[in-house]
Every structure is written in structure tokens, then in C-alpha cells.
Amino acid sequence: MVKQASRRSSLASVYKPSPFGISASPPGVTLAERAGLSLVIAECAAGDAACIKALSKALGTDMPPPGHSSEAGDRRITWLAPGKWMIVGKDKSYGETASLLESSCEDAAINDVSSSKTVIRASGPNVRDTLAASCTIDLHPSVFKPGMSATTDLDHVVVTIDCIDADTFDLYVSRAYAVSFWEWLIEASEEFGGEVKAAI
């Protein structure tokens, strides 16, 4: 059996758990990389209700509607585009989620993209202020609520933003731009006082 190589964080060269920016207690923004995640893209042909139903049955929940995310056990499903979702979780074995969906829905296009994305959890009382500094969508809590998601530009980088709760967001960015985006995120948070936590 071929042993699966461990994935190296794209932030390894810049990731240093420590406070940064102005002194603030509690920190205005807390950042932590989410490590060891399985990310799978599932896509159905336009109008293929049977395919969507099969995905829902395999995951044990309805697929979330446009602009939303939902929980399904230990996985989170995020809408990306019509008929297209990202399923995120920590598989017990490599490729578990992709294999489950491939065997449950032959008509869906299933792609494991776990190695292509860096995921950052950003939280704290000033996290919305930080993201709004370079975001083209309205992140006011009355508009962008928990369970909502969107793909947009942040500092000229395409990022999928998933609102976990009022002050917590998961940010999905291409590994190729992860260091640049991380450095921007640190700089944008400095005025509020921040802290980098150990990866979670």
C-alpha cells in the first residue's frame, strides 16, 4: 500500500503563534489555520434534481441554498455556485468524503481539492472591520449572518468567506496566494490588536 504523504502547510514559513499589533485584551482579531481538512467539490448538472437528492441523502442533510452553508454531522457544506458545493471536514482516512459521494451519486462530478486550499479561521469583535477593509460585499451583521457564505475578492485575492457565528469566519484561499493573503490579514488586523493561535 502506498503511504499518503502528509501535507505541509502553505503558511509554514510565516506562521508564528503570538500577539501582534497594538496591545488589546481580549484581542480584536484572532487568527488560526485550520489544518488537516478534507475539501471536496461536488457539482451536479443544471436542473438535475435527482443528483442533488442523491448528494443530500449521502450527506444526511439538504444541500444549502445559494449564499448559505450548513452542518452535516462533522462536515460543513458551503454553496459555491448553482449545483456546486464544497464539503469540508476531517476525514478518518484520506479521500473518505470523495469516495462516499462518488459511490452515492454517479452523475455528480466529485473532486478532492484538499491540497489546493488554505483555510484560516478569523474571529473576534473586530473581525468584520478587518475583512471589510478590502471586501466588496456588505459584512454588516444584519446582512451577512451566521450560516451565510460568499466568494469575493479580499486584497485582490479570491476568497470564500463562511460565517460560522457572529464573530467567526472561515476563509478559503488558494495555496498559491496563501502567504500574501496571510500577510495582508495580519497587517489589516494590527490596528485592533491581534493574536495568532496554534493551528486547529
Mean pLDDT of 122-143: 96
pLDDT (0 to 100) of residue 78: 98
How far is it, in rounded angstroms, from Cα 88 to Cα 90? 7
How far is it, in rounded angstroms, from Cα 45 to Cα 56? 15
pLDDT, one tens digit per residue, over 68-110 is 999 999 999 999 999 999 999 999 888 999 999 999 999 999 9
pLDDT at position 3 over 80:
no
Mean pLDDT of 169-188: 97
Residue written as grid cell 491540497: 115
**Percent of the chain residues topping a pLDDT of 90:** 92
pTM value surpassing 0.85: yes
Chain-centroid distance of CA 169 in Å reads 8
Between 7-11, 85-89, 99-103, 145-149, the lowest mean confidence (pLDDT) is in 7-11
H/E segment holding residue 188 = helix 178-189
pLDDT at position 161 over 90:
yes
Cα–Cα distance list, 80 to 23, 162, 190 (Å): 37, 11, 30
pLDDT (0 to 100) of residue 103: 96
The domains found in the chain, sorted by start residue, are: 18-35+116-196 (3.30.1360.120), 38-112 (3.30.70.1520)
Name the residue with higher pLDDT: 8 or 82. 82
pLDDT (0 to 100) of residue 8: 86
β-pairing, 194-196 vs 29-34, is parallel
pLDDT at position 196 over 90:
yes
pLDDT (0 to 100) of residue 1: 41
In this structure, the dihedral spanned by the alpha carbons of residues 70, 159, 145 and 120, taken in order and rounded to 10 degrees, is 80
